[in-house]
Amino acid sequence: MESRAGLPSIATLFSAYATITTFITLLQQAFNQFIPQRVQDYLYEKLEQWFRKSKSSPSLFTLVIEQSDELEGFRNHNQVFDACEKYLCSKLSNFANRLKVTRPRAEDMLAFSLAEGQEFREVYEGVEFTWNYIISSNENSERESQERRYFELTIEKKHKDKALNSYLPFVLNFYNEMQEKQKELKLHTLDKYGGWHAIEFKHPFTFDSLAMDPDMKKAITDDLDRFIKRKEFYKRIGRAWKRGYLLYGPPGTGKSSLVAAMANHLKFDVYDLQLSQVDDDATLRNLMVWTTNKSILVIEDIDCCSGLPNRRENMEVCSDDDQGSNGGDENWSASKISLSGLLNFLDGLWSSCGDERIIIFTTNQKDKLDPALLRPGRMDMHIHMSYLTMPGFRILASNYLDVSDDDDHPLLFKEIESLIGNVNITAAQVAEEILRSEDAEIALRGVIELLKKKKSERTKMK
């Protein structure tokens, strides 16, 4: 039966609706049953992209930030993608309704990251920015599947300049600051092929735990902090942005520990250079050039390096102004490297290859070093690592035993103070004695016996 206007009846409409619904249901079941999940995901993604494009307005501006791009046949990682990923991950708790969770190793904490298709909206300086995290699969000419990850940042076209000149630099600055806070330090050493090999640097020493005279400690930290802040100053006066430190004193006085404290204070990587492993000046120059910015180059026991003999005997024929040249190299023809090769990197033409670098020499005997190495501009600050003093011992006692002379052991501290000024003993020797017992009183009495023994040996030697 048809309606008066010749239209289908209600029963006919319901019948057609039921038929269509049944057909769609069967089609959906067949799609889910016979189409692989990977193909389904691909089709959904293409539909989503099509709808996104159809919704786009000429008044919108979209910035695509890919994880990597291909340049001259090589795929290059995009650091801007890393910055955006870190920035958005820092805001996961605010906007995410889907997260990926991983734990790479059993001892690690759970790590949360962005899931595919996540959208995030943020208002920055009164302007709304929309982020989309997209993962797509493409097939190259060899029919190998390649995953493409990228962000789409969408904004009204009239705010394009704000996105490029203000918002993105803000994200990058956030990323740089986070990298500095989370930076894992590296210790670089020479491998068997003559190149740098890096391992994690997790030395626990800090200036707080360093058994050093407090005034000297403050002078060093102030100098380091001043150096870091003076980039424009070094540029204005025409000097390379680097600083040299000479650590000298008897063995066991904490020179290596001070290097570790400086690295942890500055968050700088450490390059440990053994000059005995360097073949010639060209190799030395290449190794030093390949050290990174924000790093500490350490040459330990430089007085023992066969390639850098003292030239005091040549001072009459070679003036200080000529010591950076080849003036005396003929006397060192048997050496692997020359003093002039090292000096050229310290303050010669090669010294400008890199910024924000610390160069540290350590020696047990300062008087054995050539004066050319010691003058300002090469070794700017000379730090005498002396034997243990009472202020240094108080730091040791606080760190190892959690006690001070104001606690329950004033008499023991007083006796230690009367002895420690009359003997030459290193912090390493005293620390080893303290470690023999966890009981503070027993450990302190052990230190007193050690100091008395040292004093007796010194008296006998006299």
Sole residue written with tokens 């990682």: 77
pLDDT tens-digit map of 11-42 = 777 777 778 888 788 887 877 777 787 777 76
- Parallel, antiparallel, or unpaired: how do β-strands 74-77 and 68-71 relate? antiparallel
Average pLDDT value for residue range 345-367: 79
Residue, of 105 and 72, whose pLDDT is higher: 105
- Segment among 300-314, 360-374, 419-433 with least mean pLDDT: 300-314
Query: Residue 365, Cβ neighbours under 10 Å: how many?
Result: 12
- Check residue 20 and give its pLDDT: 84
Kindly tell me if the per-residue pLDDT of 332 is higher than 50: no
Question: What tokens were used for 252?
Answer: 């066991």
pLDDT at residue 220 above 90?
yes
Q: Angle 327-328-329 (CA atoms, 0-180°, nearest 5)? A: 105
Contact 86, 178 (CB under 8 A): yes
99 and 92 Cβ atoms separated by less than 8 Å:
yes
In degrees, rounded to 5, the angle at the alpha carbon of residue 141 between the alpha carbons of residues 137 and 145 is: 25
Mean pLDDT of the chain: 79
* Domain spanning 186-384: CATH superfamily: P-loop containing nucleotide triphosphate hydrolases (3.40.50.300)
Inform me whether the pLDDT recorded for 324 exceeds 50: no
Which one has a higher pLDDT value, 362 or 461?
A: 362
- Top-confidence residue, 233 or 458: 233
Structure tokens belonging to residue 271: 């390059």
> What is the 3-state secondary structure of 309-351?
CCCHHHCCCCCHHHCCCCCCHHHHCCCCCCHHHHHHHHHCHHH
Dihedrals phi, psi of 60, to nearest 5 degrees: -100, 150
Tell me the CA distances in angstroms from 148 to 74, 76, 361, 374, one per residue in order. Answer: 15, 13, 48, 55
What HEC string does 117-165 produce?
A: CCEEEEEECCEEEEEEEEEEEEECCCCCEEEEEEEEEEEEHHHHHHHHH
Give this prediction's pTM: 0.61
Query: 318 or 462, which is more confident?
Result: 462
Tens of pLDDT, residue by residue over 103-116, are 766 656 676 777 77
pLDDT for position 325: 37
Domain ranges of the chain: 59-182, 186-384, 390-461
With bands split at pLDDT 50, 70 and 90, how would you rate the model's confidence at 334? very low
